[in-house]
Structure formats: C-alpha cells, structure tokens
C-alpha cells in the first residue's frame, strides 16, 4: 500500500509506512512533502507562488523540499538566526504557514494501520497513535506560528488538527468462493475511531435513479485491488454485509460506523449474506444488484461517478440488498419509523409509521417528543428508516436494520441537530438537503422482536389533520399505492406513487412482496392492532408545523388512552 493518498479532496495516510513519531519526522516525512508540493501546485496567489519558488528559480518539487527543510530549521532556531530566503519576509511566511495549516485541514483526513492481536489494540494503540498525531501537528503549527510572530499566542483553540477518523485493518483468512477471489486480499476494517463532530463536504447531496436488478454478477467486471480498496464488514439487521469500497469513497464508508454495527473479526470470516461494492470503475454510472443463487449471496454494485459521492447511495444499496434477501426469507420490509415510547408512569407503546421519503415519519416522532415532554420518559428508536415485520406464532413483530439515523437537517425542530452533534457526522451542511448520521440505538435492541401497538401510514398529501383509524383493508391498499408529495429530497417533485412506498426491494420484486403484504396485514387484523393514517401536511408546507403538531397530540392521546 502507498504511504499517502491525496485525491478527491481527501488525504489517507498509512500509519505503518508514514507515521511521524516526532516533529522532525513530521516535517521531513513524505506525507508533509507531498502536501507542500500539492499546495504549491494549487497556488493562484502570485505573491505566495513567487515566495515559495524563490521567484521561479525552483520547481514545485524543489520548492517543497527547500521549504520543508526551512521549517525544520525554524522548529529549532529563532527566525533571525536562520540564513534562508524564506526568513527574510516574516509577514509572507506567517501567511504561508497559516494557509498550509488551513490547506491541510480543508480535505477529509484519514489514517489506518494493520491491527495486532493483543487485547485492547483499538484504544491502546490505534486511538493513542492517532491522538498523538493530532497533538503533534497542533503543537508544531503553534510553534512555527509563534516563532514567526516572535511572541506566544493568547488564545488557543484545540482544533482537530490530525485526522477526521482512523481505522485498523487485517486480511481475511477464510477463502471466498472462487467467484469472489478478487476480494480475498482486500483489507478488512476491524476497528474505527471517528473524531466527532465530523463534517464532510461531498460532491453530491441528492440521490437520483433507481437500483435495478441485473442478471450478471458484478464480480465479472469488478475493478478493485488490495492497494486502493478496503472492506467495512457490518450487520444490516440480522444479516452480514461485506461493503467493499474504493478509497475515493473513504469518507462515506467510514460514516457507516454511525449507522451499521461493525462486525467482529470472527463474523467477518464467515460467508456473507450480502456484498456491496462501492466506487467500481466500470464506466456504467449505475446502481445495480444481483442474486448469486449458487452461493446464496446478494451482490450490489455502485459505479464510480461524481453523483455517487453521496451517503444515500451507499445506505440505500445496503438496505435494498437486505430487503430482497429478507423478502425471500418471508419477512416484509417496511420503509418507515418504529419507536418504543416509554412513559414516566412505566407504561410503553410501540409506534410504527410507514411512508416514502419526505412523508413525515421522523418529523412526526420528533413532534411527539415535543408534545409529550411532560409524560414521555424516553423514546427508543427501533428503526428510523428501514425495518421489517415478520410473524412468529401468529404474532407480528418488528425489527430494525440500523443502529443510527441518516437525517435531513431541515426536517428537524430547530436546535435538534445540536443536541447530538458531539456524536454525529454532518454531510455537506452548507447545501440544500444536508444530512447528519447519528447513533440511535444499541444493535441488540434493534434486532430484538418488538410487538406493534400502532401501525399508520404517513400521509403528507391529504388536507386532513390528526390520526385516523381505518380498516386493515383500507390501510393495506393505501400502503401498496405508496402515494406521497415528493419534495425534492430525491429526483422526484410533486405527487408520486411507489409500490408499497418502498423503492428499495419491494418495488423491484412485487411478485415476491405481494403475498407477504397480504399475510402481514391479515396478521395485524387478527391481533387487533390499530391501523390507520397520520396526516403530516408536509406536502403543503415544511415550515408550517400545525399538521405535525395535531398528529403528535393525537398520537399522544392514543398512548395515554390505551395503557395496559
């Protein structure tokens, strides 16, 4: 593997080859030299460019070498003790130091190393090394700055000067089936550390197109290798998924740590249920999946393309693979939100809301929290986007898929994102449709069987208010129609319909999903579970919260009136 990778507005460092143990090693290391050279090559300020190249006498590579050498001298001597052209203009030198520091911190930055077998490797080695690097870079920057200023600073900011995240890797020991031999040597992630809040600036902030089923295994045109690809092994619900990603998509892939449970090393050795390929350089600009019936593996493939630089593609591909596999196991995927409302008097109710993107599922839960703040002790999230209903001994149970939530910031009450920002990953907060990925619930809670007390379709297109109880047959037909007012969070705008409000599996396999819907809704009826619609009004206005507030009050009434 290379020592350092600098591209796609990100820097990835191999700690096994390029970890600086002290300031001198940092300033004369390859990583710093590459950074300075790249900074010079991107320079548009003629004054700065002439200063660094000594009025054009040096090439970019020579300039980087000489300037790095000068900074090593500056870390030891006072500025007036150094005989160098760079020491003759303190004002420009200070400007360059500030710019280089900002230039370093502008891209997303990641580090990785091979993992050991000792206990506590993650916190004792990986986290310790990464934290030491953060401290080393910050202290080096301050020292150089203060040497040029010829005074100490009076205000110090403990910024994230090192990486945004780091991880450790190992190589798979168990052999893959021969069709997947190209994946054998690709490093597998076993520990992740995120420096939160982590703020990413991806190229895209919207998902377009659909995920299509194909009849050819993407492994036939897989382009990855062990030099530039990694694997994030995780649990999507109860299924195991090996997510192989191009290094270009490092920031998106590591954000999965806030959304899907990282598998253990032992679990990563087992045959996966799902394989997801991210950033395949196949020239197709497609999102596709395939069922390998011989090996019973569902394989998804996301092409390498600028529009794919959005977390939604990765998340929805993994959920699509989960859903099609679960439908073949007899489980019904639900696009919605499912929460356990724990009241202060000790009672609880499990509320499931279904609907497509923008219908108001998560917003209704947030409004319920606000409406019930005097009565609700806790709201435990079983799933925030995708889950399942399955039947055991004649009883329908819900389970989730994710340990976190991928939330549109504009959908939340003002101030809500800041309550959890210290644990969250923020995606393009400067753009419309900006999102955050935040932890929500422990994995064991998510994949536990939860009874359903209320099932309602989130209706954002009807000019009604509140919560309405309807017959199971009415709700089933409404769910199958999957109607909503699309608000531009995907490529759609205006009234649209999607089979079962779920373009992530059910839409692609209606013939498999249809009997599961009939069976599940019969079971809801047989168990006397409340079924109906909740009217969010979000198709009319996302700013006017009256519809959400009325619906939340009636949800709260249902909970209070149906205590056991």
Mode of pairing for the β-strands spanning 386-392 and 108-114? unpaired
Q: Which region among 38-42, 293-297, 379-383, 427-431 has the lowest average model confidence (pLDDT)?
A: 427-431
For residue 558, the surrounding DSSP H or E stretch is helix 546-561
Question: Could you give the residue ranges of the DSSP H alpha helices within 53-113?
Answer: 60-74, 90-105
pLDDT class of 539 with cuts at 50, 70, 90? confident
What's the pLDDT band for 121 if we cut at 50, 70, 90? confident
Q: Please state, for a pLDDT cut of 90, what percent of the chain lies above it.
A: 84
pLDDT-derived band at 302 (thresholds 50, 70, 90) equals: very high
pLDDT of residue 120: 72
The pLDDT value recorded for residue 493 is: 63
* DSSP assignment of 220-234: GG----TTTEEEEEE
**What is residue 422's predicted lDDT score, i.e. its pLDDT?**
87
C-alpha–C-alpha distance, residues 392 and 344, integer Å: 30
Please check the confidence at residue 555 and state whether its pLDDT lies above 70: yes
Cα 275 to chain centroid, rounded? 17
What per-residue confidence (pLDDT) applies to 325?
A: 98
Best CA proximity match to 319, nearest among 506, 508, 505: 505
Give me the pLDDT at residue 412, please.
Answer: 62
Residues 14-24 have pLDDT tens digits of 999 989 999 99
Residue 491 has pLDDT above 60, yes or no: no
pLDDT for res 490: 54
Q: What is the pLDDT of residue 417?
A: 52
Residue 293 has pLDDT above 70, yes or no: yes
| Confidence tier at 119 by pLDDT (50, 70, 90) | low
Residue 11, pLDDT above cutoff 60: yes
Average pLDDT, the chain: 93
Contacts (Cβ under 8 Å, ≥6 apart) of 515? none
CA contacts within 13 A on the Cβ side of 296: 9
**Which residue, chain included where needed, has tokens 């020579």?**
62
Give the pLDDT score at 485: 87
Q: What's the pLDDT band for 267 if we cut at 50, 70, 90?
A: very high
What mean pLDDT comes out for the span 347-375?
Answer: 92
How does pLDDT run across 400-450, given as a tens digit for each residue? 999 999 988 776 655 555 567 789 999 988 888 889 999 999 999 999 999
pLDDT exceeds cutoff 70 at 320: yes
Q: Which two tokens stand for residue 188?
A: 């597998």
Q: Quick one: what percent of the chain has pLDDT higher than 70? A: 96
Say how far apart CA 396 and CA 402 lie, in whole Å. 20
Q: Which pLDDT value is given to residue 2?
A: 72
- Give 171-180 pLDDT, tens digit per residue: 999 999 999 9
Q: Is 353 exposed, middle or buried (0-12, 13-18, 19+ CB in 10 A)?
A: buried
The residue that leads in pLDDT, 205 or 466, is 466
- Confidence band (pLDDT; 50, 70, 90) for 38? very high
Which pLDDT value is given to residue 381?
95
Q: What is the structure's pLDDT at 269? A: 96
C-alpha dihedral sign at 492, 497, 499, 502: positive
Q: What band does 291 get if pLDDT is binned at 50, 70 and 90?
A: very high
Pairwise CA distance, residues 376 & 346, whole Å? 10
| Bridge-based pairing state of the strands 483-487 and 493-497 | antiparallel
CA distance 301 to 317: 8
- In terms of phi and psi (left: phi > 0; alpha: psi -120 to 50; beta: otherwise), the region of 400 is beta
The helix-helix angle for 30-41 and 60-74 (nearest 10°) equals 120
User: What mean pLDDT comes out for the span 213-222?
Assistant: 98
């Amino acid at each position: 593997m290379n020592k350092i990778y600098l591209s796609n507005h990100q820097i990835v460092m191999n700690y096994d080859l390029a970890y600086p143990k002290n300031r001198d090693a940092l300033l004369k290391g390859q990583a710093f030299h590459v950074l300075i050279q790249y900074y010079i090559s991107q320079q548009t300020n003629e004054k700065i460019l002439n200063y660094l190249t000594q009025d054009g006498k040096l090439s970019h590579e020579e300039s980087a070498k000489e300037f790095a050498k000068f900074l090593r001298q500056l870390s030891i001597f006072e500025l007036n003790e150094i005989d160098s052209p760079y020491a003759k203009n303190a004002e420009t030198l200070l400007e360059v130091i500030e710019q280089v520091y900002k230039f370093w911190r502008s891209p997303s930055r990641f580090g990785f190393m091979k993992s050991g077998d000792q206990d506590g490797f993650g916190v004792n080695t990986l986290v310790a090394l990464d934290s030491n690097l953060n401290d080393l870079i910050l202290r080096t920057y301050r020292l150089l700055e203060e040497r040029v200023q010829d005074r100490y600073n009076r205000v110090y900011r403990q910024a994230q000067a090192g990486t945004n995240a780091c991880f450790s890797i190992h190589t798979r020991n168990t052999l893959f089936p021969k069709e997947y031999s190209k994946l054998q040597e690709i490093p597998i992630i076993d520990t992740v550390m995120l420096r939160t809040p982590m703020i990413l600036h991806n190229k895209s902030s919207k998902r377009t197109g659909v995920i299509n089923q194909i009849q050819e295994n993407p492994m036939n045109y897989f382009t990855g290798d062990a030099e530039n690809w990694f694997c994030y092994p995780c649990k999507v619900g109860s299924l195991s998924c090996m997510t192989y990603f191009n290094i270009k998509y490092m920031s998106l892939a590591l954000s999965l740590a806030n959304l899907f449970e990282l598998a253990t090393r032992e679990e990563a050795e087992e045959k996966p249920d799902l394989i997801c390929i991210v950033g395949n350089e196949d020239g197709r600009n497609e999102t596709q999946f395939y069922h390998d019936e011989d090996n019973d593996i569902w394989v998804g493939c996301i092409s390498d393309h600028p529009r794919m630089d959005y977390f939604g593609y990765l998340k929805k591909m993994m959920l699509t693979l989960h859903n099609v596999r679960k439908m073949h196991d007899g489980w019904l995927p639900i696009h919605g939100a499912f929460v356990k409302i724990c009241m202060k008097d000790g009672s609880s109710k499990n509320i499931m809301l279904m609907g497509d993107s923008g219908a108001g599922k998560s917003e209704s839960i947030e409004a319920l929290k606000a409406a019930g703040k005097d009565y609700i002790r806790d709201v435990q999230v079983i799933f925030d986007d995708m889950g399942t209903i399955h039947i055991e001994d004649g009883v329908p149970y819900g389970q989730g898929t994710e340990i976190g939530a991928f939330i549109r910031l504009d959908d939340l009450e003002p101030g809500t994102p800041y309550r959890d920002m210290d644990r969250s990953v923020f995606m393009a907060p400067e753009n419309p449709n900006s999102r955050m990925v935040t932890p929500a619930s422990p994995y064991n809670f998510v994949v536990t069987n939860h009874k359903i007390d209320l099932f309602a379709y989130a209706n954002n297109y009807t000019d009604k208010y509140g919560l309405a109880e309807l017959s199971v047959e009415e709700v089933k037909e409404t769910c199958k129609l999957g109607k909503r007012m699309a608000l531009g969070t995907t490529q759609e705008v205006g009234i649209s319909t999607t089979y079962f409000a779920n373009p992530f599996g059910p839409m692609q396999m209606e013939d498999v999903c249809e009997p599961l819907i009939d069976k599940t809704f019969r079971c809801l009826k047989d168990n006397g579970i409340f079924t109906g619609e909740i009217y969010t009004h979000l198709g009319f206005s996302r700013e006017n919260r009256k519809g959400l507030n009325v619906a939340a009050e009636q949800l709260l009434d249902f909970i209070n009136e149906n205590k056991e």
